[in-house]
Amino acid sequence: MDQPQRIVLAKVGLDGHDRGIKVVARALRDAGMHVIYAGLWQTPEAVVRTVADEDADWLGLSLLSGAHMTLVPRVMELLKQAGLADTGVLVGGIIPEADMPKLHDLGVAKIFGPGTSLDDIVSFVQKPRERTP
Q: How confident is the model at residue 37 (pLDDT cuts 50, 70, 90)?
A: very high
79: in domain: yes
Number of domains in the chain: 1
Q: How confident is the model at residue 132 (pLDDT cuts 50, 70, 90)?
A: very low
The predicted model scores a pTM of: 0.94
22: in domain: yes
DSSP structure class, residue 83:
T
Residue 116: how many CB atoms within 10 A of its CB? Answer: 15
Crossing angle for the helix pair 44-54 and 68-81, nearest 10 degrees? Answer: 40
Q: How confident is the model at residue 133 (pLDDT cuts 50, 70, 90)?
A: very low
133: in domain: no
Contact 75, 63 (CB under 8 A): no
- Flag whether pLDDT at 108 surpasses 90: yes
35: in domain: yes
89: in domain: yes
**Domain that includes residue 41, residue range:** 6-125
80: in domain: yes
CATH classification of the domain holding 31:
3.40.50.280
